[in-house]
Structure 1
Amino acid sequence: MNVLPALLVLCLLLAVLGPRVLARAGWVEREPVLALLAWQCLVVAVLLCFGLAMVLTAAAAWPEAAQVLFLGAPHGVAEAYRLPLDRPWAVAGALLLAFGGVRTAQSLSAEVRLARTLRRRRQRELARQAPELPPGLAPRRSPGERLVVLEDTRPLAWSLPGSRPRLVVTTGALHRLSDRELDALLAHERGHVRARHHWLMQCAEALSTGFPGAAVFALFRSQVGRLVELAADDWAARRHGRLATAIALVELNTQHSPGCPAPLAEVPHRVDRLLAGAPRLTRGRRLRLTATSLAAVGAPLLLAFAPGLHAML
């Protein structure tokens, strides 16, 4: 069984058909958290296909790599993975796939460094602009987080992730929103922090930047930017009501969180979605969709291990 072409074909199918299916799925807006899981599984499956293909071509190109890869493997396993490639072609393929891996690592590390630099800069700016409020004067907050209030007539709010997250709100938002609406607004930003949406956004941005011609990564970035906002909306709505969350969005519809930016055109749709209150999917369907998403990750692994398992039988 020649597993390398099978992995590349699977990668192509996942990269081309997967985004189209997810982008057109009607259940995505009803279950944004599940949709985020599906997108992550799809991207991980594509990257797994590339990574496994790189390992196999490296084993075909260099005997030393094959010895390390199949060290201690039962008799016949190494032969089952032998690729019908001339060494120059195997070397070229391994180097090409390795370039993709290095490009991914460079993009991700650059995105992480940039995010850390911006976060530290914002933290220094916040420390200069506003001190932390005493516990008795600050709105309700969760343990371990800091609330920063900035003097600004514009109604703004955003989150600044880190070892001790900061929730930033302006005096304009405090004056314009009721207590319930303010709680919903802070819960929205708290949902971003607790779900580590900034990590997901950084990975999506890194992949899109590293591979600008890959539609799957471009769609991943655009869809993640939209879905994290819907997931945070749902987090706030479950705790403080859909109406209060929708009103808070309307009041702040001219500005967006620097941590998880959302296009202005999406705000009316998000408000309509909250007010419509579409029911969640049934538990059985959520389980089936979760299993399908995880199966996408398992498919490359199953395909890669199939020749070795067959050789041992």
Structure 2
Amino acid sequence: MNAAPALLGYAAAVGTLAPGVLLRSHWPQRSPALAVVAWFTLGVTVLVSLSLAALNLAGPHAHLHGLLYSCRTALGLGSSADGALMGAGIVFCAVLAAAYLTGFGAYAVRARAARAGHRDVLDKVGRRSERLGAVVVEHAVPAAYCLPGRRPRVVVSTGAVGLLSDVELGAVVEHERAHIRGRHHLVLAAAHAVAWVLPGTPLARHLREQVSLLLEMVADDRALRLFPRSTLASAMFSMASGEAPHGALAAGGQTVLIRLRRVLGPGRSARPLLRCWVGTTAVLAPVLPVLVVCPAGLA
């Protein structure tokens, strides 16, 4: 029996049904970093399944016995015709990988160019505040954001400086520093690359949105290590109208209400058993197709 239909079905299930399960779950907000891993696991699983499906479509003699069952003795086997078909499947896998790298690179390059242009403007109109550890710009709307990369900057508007207390400003700046230290701009580029490879799928759409939100929660948790919940919540409420230029990560924005409810709620992390289960699933989901499907040419 050819494995391609099973692989395509597995990819379809993961790409359409699994996102809804994650969206309805409550644990991602309690462990946002683990949830980011879970979302990317779904993307990797779909890509691995599609790649193996291509290999098995190229080889009609592929089967579902699996690597664990029969591939241990199959090295070096296969006809020349099977080898040619296998080559076609490998080309598809290479195209898939190239598409992902292209999506990642395109987003990263655009964002980097936007940040470079904005840094040039900041060098002319901004002033460095040693007290805040940030660049202050003249702008009436309270806003704060960071420009990650080789020359990272935390930027705060004069509207925010005039509105927030010193401790609230400290919480906001720490939130932005968390984005820089965690290299969250690269994680966002990876999320956009998945959407590039799998356009129009529920997984691509939700992964991009949820990873962005979860990274804000990760930065919130970092700030909460140093500042009280009430302080961060007050600063977030005051900064809700703030936006960031392209390529930057902002403390305000459309996700503030969701994050406010989380910060003001009970500070519970996911239970160890649940974390263990999610971690195990994250490892097994993309590996499962490799374990149960013997690629064409190795049968």
Scaled by the length of structure 1, what TM-score is found?
0.78
Please state if 1:14 is matched with 2:14.
Answer: yes
1:225 and 1:260 in contact (8 A); partners too: no
Alpha-carbon separation, structure 2, partners of 1:118 and 1:218 = 23
Please state if 1:103 is matched with 2:99.
Answer: yes
Deviates more, 1:111-120 or 1:284-293: 284-293
Letter in 1 for 2:131: A
Aligned to 1:245: 232
Aligned to 1:294: 283
In structure 1, the residue corresponding to 2:221 is in which secondary structure?
helix
Aligned to 1:208: 195
2:240 and 2:254 in contact (8 A); partners too: no
Tell me the number of residue pairs that the alignment of Structure 1 and Structure 2 aligns: 287
Q: Looking at both structures, which has the greater relative contact order when contacts are Cα pairs under 8 Å and sequence separation is at least 6?
A: 2
User: CA 1:261/1:216 → structure 2, altered by over 3 Å: closer, same or farther?
Assistant: farther
Alpha-carbon separation, structure 1, partners of 2:279 and 2:72 = 35
1:180 and 1:244 in contact (8 A); partners too: yes
Aligned to 1:67: none
Alpha-carbon separation, structure 1, partners of 2:231 and 2:252 = 21
Please state if 1:129 is matched with 2:125.
Answer: yes
Unpaired stretches in structure 1, ≥5 consecutive residues: 62-72, 142-146
Give matches, 1:1-313, under 5 Å. Answer: 2-55=2-55, 60=59, 76-79=74-77, 99-133=95-129, 137-139=130-132, 141=133, 147-258=134-245, 259-260=248-249, 264-304=253-293
In structure 2, the residue corresponding to 1:29 is in which secondary structure?
helix
Q: Percent identity?
A: 33
Alpha-carbon separation, structure 1, partners of 2:57 and 2:296 = 15
Q: Residue 26 of structure 1: CA displacement?
A: 1.7
Alpha-carbon separation, structure 2, partners of 1:96 and 1:221 = 24
User: CA 1:96/1:272 → structure 2, altered by over 3 Å: closer, same or farther?
Assistant: same
Scaled by the length of structure 2, what TM-score is found?
0.82
Alpha-carbon separation, structure 2, partners of 1:129 and 1:57 = 59
